[in-house]
């Protein structure tokens, strides 16, 4: 049964719905990361808002169904037992910093993620406004980033982003938890990072150098041959192949953001996966290098300033949060210590 639930969710896109993990890239998006206040009343208020959120999004989406409003809600490891009242999903852990010789992927606080997407900025705004009004002082904002689609799905560095995403039935196999964790089947793990780019330094590079760093041609997005040893391109380091030669994908929904007047230009990375070890290994290859010491040269022009892990449950889990006051179970154990250099996760059996 869990496997059927797992395969059902991304098979069709429904505007005005929650937890649409496989929905197409929108024109606008807001990434909103919140901390929940410690008081019991705050938890009760958050549960009520999340349980009612499917109605809120339908009401806002009704104003313009063609705007394709959706919202994905992710819940962090620390808040999960107290908020949801069930054991943590089996792989849910805090994000732990990855420290390379030249660059670091930092960990930052976050209890809740709201990934709001629509083809109209005002629709995103109105949904977020109603959401924050409902949550009130039960939460505080850790990060809020408004993003936009840039030309033909390019990042602000000028390259097409998300080329390697799975399509069709492969989305479910890549993204959704299945029978390995039946209580959480149909949900997905989410890793978010906010990167800032020194755009003037990047644009000063010759196109050929940019292409060598990315591993793709800039104009027509064609994969380039990469070195089999020594310094590797970004597209190679971000491709994960296990010991049996099987390639493991993730679903990216990255979007650019920027404020030219403040000289701020960036990419908001969001990756969804069934197995967290895939993103963990990808980040280790980028920040530490493969071989170690030869980090992803894209990081010389991309500074990670946030890093968080969430689990996005099925919509019915959110809808049922206010059915009865949950009690935090002791079974799931404490989160992995942030000081560790891994997320405390591994592949499924």
- Domain assignment present for residue 335? The answer is no
pLDDT band at 293 (very low <50, low <70, confident <90, very high): very high
Pick from 36-40, 219-223, 324-328: least confident: 324-328
Location of structure tokens 């009760």: 44
Pick from 62-66, 256-260, 328-332: least confident: 328-332
pLDDT of residue 303: 98
pLDDT of residue 105: 98
pLDDT of residue 102: 97
pLDDT of residue 327: 58
pLDDT band at 263 (very low <50, low <70, confident <90, very high): very high
- 119-to-54, 115, 143, 298 alpha-carbon distances in Å: 19, 14, 22, 29
Average pLDDT over residues 6-15: 54
Q: Exposed e or buried b for every residue in 272-306, given b needs 16+ CB within 10 A?
A: bbbbbbbbbbbbbbbbbbbeeebbbbbbebbebeb
Domains identified in the chain, total number: 1
Average pLDDT over residues 318-341: 61
Annotation marks residue 290 as catalytic: no
pLDDT band at 149 (very low <50, low <70, confident <90, very high): very high
Mind listing the pLDDT tens digit for each residue in 177-210?
Answer: 999 999 999 999 999 999 999 999 999 999 999 9
pLDDT of residue 338: 44
pLDDT of residue 13: 66
pLDDT of residue 36: 98
Continuous segment of H or E residues that includes residue 3: helix 2-8
pLDDT of residue 9: 46
- Domain assignment present for residue 343? The answer is no
- Domain assignment present for residue 337? The answer is no
Mind listing the pLDDT tens digit for each residue in 82-105?
Answer: 999 999 999 999 998 999 999 999
- Domain assignment present for residue 92? The answer is yes
Q: Exposed e or buried b for every residue in 332-346, given b needs 16+ CB within 10 A?
A: beebbeeeeebbbbe
The residues that bridge with 272 in the sheet, in sequence order, are 190, 251
Instruction: Look at residues 85, 118, 307 and name the one whose alpha carbon lies nearest to residue 195.
Output: 307
- Percentage of the chain lying above the pLDDT 90 cut: 80
- Domain assignment present for residue 345? The answer is no
Mind listing the pLDDT tens digit for each residue in 27-85?
Answer: 999 999 999 999 999 999 999 999 999 999 999 999 999 999 999 999 999 999 999 99
Domain that holds residue 226: 2-319
pTM: 0.90
Q: By the 8 A CB rule, do 84 and 303 touch?
A: no
- Annotated catalytic residue, options 111, 119, 161, 253: 161
Does residue 5 have a pLDDT over 60?
no
Mean pLDDT, the chain, integer = 90
Three-state DSSP at 154 gives: strand
- Domain assignment present for residue 159? The answer is yes
pLDDT of residue 14: 74
- Domain assignment present for residue 310? The answer is yes
Cis ω for the linkage preceding 291 (within 30 of 0): yes
- Domain assignment present for residue 84? The answer is yes
Three-state DSSP at 68 gives: coil
pLDDT band at 25 (very low <50, low <70, confident <90, very high): confident
pLDDT band at 164 (very low <50, low <70, confident <90, very high): confident
């Amino acid at each position: 049964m869990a496997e059927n639930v797992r395969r059902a969710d991304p098979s069709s896109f429904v505007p005005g719905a929650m937890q649409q993990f496989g929905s197409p890239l929108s024109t606008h998006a807001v990434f909103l990361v919140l901390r929940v206040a410690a008081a019991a009343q705050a938890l009760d208020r958050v549960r009520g808002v999340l349980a009612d959120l499917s109605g809120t999004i339908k009401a806002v989406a009704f104003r313009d169904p063609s705007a394709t409003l959706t919202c994905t809600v992710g819940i962090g490891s620390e808040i999960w037992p107290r908020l949801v009242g069930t054991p943590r999903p089996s792989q849910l852990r805090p994000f732990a910093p990855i420290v390379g010789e030249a660059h670091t992927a930092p960990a930052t606080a976050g209890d809740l993620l709201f990934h709001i997407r629509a083809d109209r900025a005002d629709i995103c705004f109105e949904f977020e406004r109603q959401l924050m009004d409902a949550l009130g002082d039960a939460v505080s904002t850790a990060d809020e980033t408004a993003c936009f689609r840039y030309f033909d799905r390019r990042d602000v560095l000028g390259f097409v982003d998300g080329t390697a995403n799975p399509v069709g039935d492969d989305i479910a196999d890549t993204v959704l938890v299945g029978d390995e964790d039946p209580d959480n089947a149909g949900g997905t793990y989410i890793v978010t990072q906010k990167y800032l780019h020194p755009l003037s330094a990047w644009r000063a590079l010759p196109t050929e150098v940019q292409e060598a760093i990315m591993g793709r041609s800039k104009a027509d997005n064609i994969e380039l041959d990469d070195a089999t040893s020594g310094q590797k391109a970004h597209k190679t380091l971000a491709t994960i192949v296990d010991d049996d030669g099987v390639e493991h994908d993730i679903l990216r929904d990255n979007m650019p953001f920027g404020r030219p007047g403040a000289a701020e230009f960036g990419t908001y990375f969001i990756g969804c996966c069934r197995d967290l070890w895939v993103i963990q290994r990808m980040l280790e290859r980028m920040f530490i290098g493969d071989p170690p010491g030869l980090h992803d040269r894209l990081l010389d022009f991309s500074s990670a300033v946030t890093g968080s892990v969430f689990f996005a449950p099925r919509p019915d889990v959110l809808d049922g949060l206010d059915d009865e006051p949950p009690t935090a179970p002791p079974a799931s154990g404490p989160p992995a210590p942030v000081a560790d250099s891994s997320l405390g996760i591994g592949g499924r059996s």
